[in-house]
Amino acid sequence: MPELPEVETTRRGIEPLLRGRQVEAVRVHDRRLRWPVSPRLARELAGHSIVAVERRGKYLLLRSPGGTLILHLGMSGSLRVCDAGAPRGPHDHLELLLAGGRALRLRDPRRFGAAIWTTADPLRHPRLRDLGPEPLDPAAFDPAWLYRRTRGRRTPVKTAIMDARIVVGVGNIYASESLHLAGIRPSTPAGRLSRPRCARLVDAIREVLEAAIAAGGTTLRDFSDAAGRPGYFARSLRVYGRGGEPCPACGGPVRRTLIAQRATYHCPGCQR
DNA sequence: CGAACCTCCTGCGGGC
DNA sequence: TGCCCGCAGGAGGTTC
């Protein structure tokens, strides 16, 4: 489910409620996430306060003096801050009980998400250390980088921009959206992109992600922010999920294809 | 190294 | 109404 805009929307929602707040206890209701939740988490986080809520790619980092909780929402995860006594759903697997009677809950029906506890530098954790640049940081993600990292690669450009070692945060929705905005066909071999087209694509990715964050993310089915509200970017989607509908730019029909087994949407008229 | 493919898991909507 | 199938926003792991 969540790509960078949804994760950032979540981060912005939970940060003011978590920062400076003590975690009184940790409840693990089901440790069977992508990797089993470490038993050390409850022992070593309880009693500490959250000092920062950061994001790296699609990962959230909850820092405390005792260590860092690294969260990933997978396909179906969401975080919610609620009253500690509010009824718990069957997929609320992890719960941080906060001072003041509230709780942060991780809900994840498919359990593709992760909750990783580390007392070391989280940015050097194997899950994070090889991540590429943040797309919203112009100093980190720029046309020269994209150009260099795609040379010699025959993989479709859509697959390349979904590769977190090239750039983080772009998932299946925003890959199609960015390529449409940039006028680039998703199946184009990444290594054949010219420098100017790399520049257009970098701009498009940034523009799409920023607009999506401003709208609170995309809710297709079940994404909701920390307060349980949906995101409103779905109505701004230009091609994703719109196979057969008219392209907003030229009016021609949007085509649905399959790239690397993932649904892909583009306008054959606008994208070359 | 790159590329193709498979995998984890639950829920939902469509077709019959 | 019920059942079966395909599909879903991610990404790690294996194999060649």
Which nucleotide shows the minimum CA-to-C1' distance to residue A155? B3
What's the count of helices (H) and strands (E) in chain A, helices before strands? Answer: 6, 10
pLDDT of residue A1: 66
Q: Is residue A97 within 8 Å of residue A23, measured between CB atoms?
A: yes
Flag residues of chain A having pLDDT under 70. 1
Q: Is residue A199 within 8 Å of residue A193, measured between CB atoms?
A: no
Active site residue A58: yes
pLDDT of residue A221: 81
- Of A11, A55, A56, A58, which is the active-site residue? A58
CATH class of A143-266: mainly alpha
pLDDT of residue A202: 98
CATH 1.10.8.50 range(s) for chain A read: 143-266
Query: Token pair of A8, please?
Result: 């950032």
Q: How far apart are CA A65 and CA A89, in angstroms?
A: 30
pLDDT of residue A224: 86
Listed as ranges, the nucleotides of chain C within 7 A of a protein C-beta are 7-12
Q: Is A4-124 a domain of CATH 3.20.190.10?
A: yes
CATH 3.20.190.10 range(s) for chain A read: 4-124
Q: How far apart are CA A115 and CA A98, in angstroms?
A: 17
User: CA of A96 and C1' of B3: distance in angstroms?
Assistant: 41
Active site residue A262: yes
Q: Is residue A4 within 8 Å of residue A168, measured between CB atoms?
A: yes
Which nucleotide shows the minimum CA-to-C1' distance to residue A110? B9
- Of A3, A8, A95, A177, which is the active-site residue? A3
∠ CA A97-A98-A99, nearest 5°, is 130
- Of A31, A88, A153, A262, which is the active-site residue? A262
Tell me the residue ranges of DSSP E strands in chain A. 23-28, 52-56, 59-64, 67-72, 78-83, 92-98, 102-107, 114-118, 255-259, 262-266
Nearest to A2 by CA among A68, A63, A79, A100: A79
Active site residue A3: yes
Total residue count of chain A as it appears in this document: 272
A110 touches strand C (CB under 7 A): yes
